[in-house]
Amino acid sequence: MKKDVHPKYGEAKVVCACGEVWEIKSTRPEFRVGICAKCHPFFTGKQKFVDTAGRVERFRQRYGNVGNSSK
């Protein structure tokens, strides 16, 4: 293999917005992420469910019963 063609591969630090830090191997020395498995709602069990019924009702109030042609 040719020398000095490949980037340097070594230890890298990953820092989450919640403060969690862990080590990986990469060509970059540091990564900053906005969310990780420690603070993600899916993994913590604090998942919020979006109420889509409110959106539908707002649409119906704004535009009436568009497309609802029940005869």
Task: Indicate the domain borders of the chain.
Answer: 10-63
Angle at CA 27, nearest 5°, toward 21 and 33?
35
pLDDT tens readout for residues 9-49:
999 999 999 999 999 999 999 999 998 888 887 777 776 66
The CATH number fitting domain 10-63, selected from 3.40.710.10, 4.10.80.400, 3.40.50.970, 3.10.20.600: 4.10.80.400
Tell me the residue ranges of DSSP E strands in 1-71: 10-16, 21-26, 30-33
pTM above 0.75, yes or no: no
Structure confidence at residue 40 (pLDDT) = 83
Structure confidence at residue 11 (pLDDT) = 97
